[in-house]
Structures are given as C-alpha cells and as structure tokens.
Amino acid sequence: MKAFNVLQDIKQVEDAIPFYRPQGSEVELFERAWRNRLPLLIKGPTGCGKTRFVSHMAARLNLPLYTVACHDDLTAADLVGRHLIGDGKTIWSDGPLTRAVREGGICYLDEVVEARKDTTVVLHPLADDRRVLPIDRTGELLEAPPPFMLIVSYNPGYQNFLKGMKPSTRQRFVSLAFDFPAPAQEEAILIGETGIDTMTAKRLVSIAGAFRVLRDHDLEEGASTRLLVYAATLIRDGCEPSLACRAALVETLTDDADTASALIEVIDATFGR
Ligand SMILES: Nc1ncnc2c1ncn2[C@@H]1O[C@H](COP(=O)(O)OP(=O)(O)O)[C@@H](O)[C@H]1O
Ligand SMILES: [Mg+2]
C-alpha cells in the first residue's frame, strides 16, 4: 500500500512538468546557464516551442516562473512595480520582475523587443554580473539570489528589423536559436500533444515541410508547430483531415486566394483526395 502511494506521488510530480521534446542540447545548455547565473536569450519563429521550453525547464528545476508578454506600451514600472492607491493610503506593489528576483525564480520576457526602451534600464544591471534590481521609487537595491534567472525571447523574422535589440542589451545574454523541429521530432510532438496516430502525424509534418518552403515568398511565416498541434487536435476530435488543415493551417496563414488554393492542393495530395 505504501509503495503504491509513493508511485502515485512520483506520477503527480511528472504530470506537473509540461511535456517538452528537446530539439538538441537546449536542456543541457539551459541548466548550465542557470547554474552559472547567466541570463538567456531564446530566438526563433512563432510557435516553435520557446514558451513551452521555458515552462518545462522552470517545472523541472522547481522554480517559480513569471512570464510577461511584452507589448509596445510595456514600461519599466510594469515590470518593477508601482504604488497603488487604496483606502486612502498608497501601497507598493511588486511587478513580475521584482517578484521573480525576490523569490529567486525565473522572469521570462516574451517578445522582449516589443517593450518600451526604458525597460533596458532595469534589465541591464540584472543581466550582467551585478545581478541587481534598482527600484527607484522605493529606493531599494535588490540583489538577485543565485536561483534567479532572466530569460528573454523574440522572433527575428517578425518584421523586427528596425526594432531589433541593441548590441549593449544583446551582449548580456547567452543565446539559443530555435527553429521548427526536425520531422521525426515534430511527429513525436504531435503524437505526444494530441495522441494522434503516426500516419496522420507524418502527413501533417510533410504538409508543414511543403508550406515552410513558401516562407519568405508567398507566406510571411511557415506553418508553426503550434498550428500543426491545432490541426492534429481537430483531426483527433474526428474532423475530416482536409477540413482540419484548411481551418488550422491555410486560413490562418494566408488571406490570398491563389496562395490558399496552392496550399489546399498540397493538403489534398497528401491526404489523398
Ligand atoms: N519541443 C516541443 N515539445 C512539445 N511541444 C511543443 C514543442 N514545440 C512546440 N510544441 C507545441 O507547440 C505549441 C506552441 O509552442 P510555444 O512554446 O507556445 O511556441 P513559441 O513560444 O515559440 O511561440 C506548444 O503549445 C506545444 O503544443
Ligand atoms: Mg511564446
């Protein structure tokens, strides 16, 4: 009876770690960066597994994770915190970056190039060997405890040409380049995520391969792993494969009628219509 309980406990821990299928040596590199207190930059196209990788690693290392989806209005105060007024008094409220520093967790800034430039003022001293967070409004200077890790990600292809990161920011990070997984990996991801059969997984991955060739020509971005997971989910639910691919892939990727019919031809040829 006791042994059974122990097994159950272990299972629960495993369940809490989000499924992630490594593409290369990123797990090892992440752990080395974390152990040595180095900040990490992850770049790659949308939907290729960056966010999933970070949540997997946070769970694996048992660290609290604060994820911030950056946008063009995001300021340093949104990250650090601000005074809130309530009940006639002002109370300081920590932002996600400050919380991650205080708790010794991970702060993950997704699409960091979108954030306002004033955020670099708080990121720079945290991202180099000082590892401090100055909070101007309270006069505090927080020293990041050893487990704290700063991670930023961005999508280089996403018309980020002008926005890019300044070398002075970029050169504070160890960088990992992600791309869409190799076919065998991507099949395993589709099967692991949705429970779809091997044949369907292979077909979806081959369709994505054909679409990705069109990237930079007719399509702004290739079909992401995320969209393949959507298509697989619809098929797993009983949806007819061509219809699922049309909804999850074609219409999501293009508004152009000619491009759409070229994509539909690939799908019909693959699923044998
Ligand atoms: N290596 C992987 N292992 C498991 N699932 C993956 C992997 N890569 C992508 N996925 C799937 O693709 C989806 C999108 O990935 P995500 O991490 O959100 O992309 P990104 O952050 O790069 O835009 C995930 O929700 C997951 O279903
Ligand atoms: Mg993401």
Q: Which of 108-112, 115-119, 262-266 has the lowest mean pLDDT?
A: 115-119
The answer to whether residues 34 and 71 belong to one domain is yes
pLDDT band at 129 (very low <50, low <70, confident <90, very high): very high
Best residue among 30, 52, 68, 114 to mutate for probing ligand 1, ranked by most atoms within 8 Å of CB? 52
In this structure, what is the dihedral angle of CA atoms 185, 112, 15, 19, given to the nearest 10 degrees?
A: 0
**For residue range 28-78, what is the model confidence (pLDDT) as tens digits?**
999 999 999 999 999 999 899 999 999 999 999 999 999 999 988 999 999
Q: How far is the CA of 139 from the centre of ligand 2 (A)?
A: 33
Shared domain for 160 and 226, answered yes or no, is no
Q: How high is the mean pLDDT of the chain?
A: 90
Tell how far CA 148 is from the center of its chain. Answer: 18
Task: Report pLDDT for 14.
Answer: 52
Is 205 exposed, middle or buried, given 0-12, 13-18 or 19+ CB atoms closer than 10 A? buried
With a 6 A CB cut-off, is 21 part of the ligand 1 pocket? yes
- Ligand 1, residues 180, 189, 194: which to mutate, most atoms within 8 A of Cβ? 189
pTM comes to 0.90
> What is the predicted pLDDT for the residue at 217?
67
- Ligand whose nearest atom lies closest to the CA of 191: 1
Q: Is the CB of residue 42 below 6 angstroms from any atom belonging to ligand 1?
A: no
The number of distinct structural domains making up the chain is: 2
Measuring from atom 13 of ligand 1, which residue has the nearest CA? 226
- Predicted local confidence at residue 11, as pLDDT: 45
Q: Which of 142, 177, 212 is the last residue of a domain?
A: 177
CATH number at residue 115: 3.40.50.300
Return the half-sphere exposure (C-beta side, CA atoms, 13 A cut-off) of residue 190. 32
State whether 162 and 39 are in the same domain. Answer: yes
- Res 123 pLDDT > 90: yes
Residues 69 and 118 in one domain: yes
Give the end of a domain, one of 114, 143, 177: 177
In a shared domain, residues 189 and 172: no
Residues 129 and 232 in one domain: no
In a shared domain, residues 259 and 229: yes
Please tell me the residue having the least CA distance from ligand 1 atom 11. 226
What the block records as the tokens of 66 is 């604060």
Residues 188 and 105 in one domain: no
Same domain, 172 and 187: no
Give the domain extent around 214.
Answer: 183-270
* Ligand 1 atom nearest to CA at 192: 4
For the stretch 164-205, pLDDT in tens is: 788 888 899 999 999 999 999 999 999 999 999 999 999 999
Q: Based on the fold, state whether residues 195 and 234 are members of the same structural domain.
A: yes
98 with 198, same domain: the answer is: no
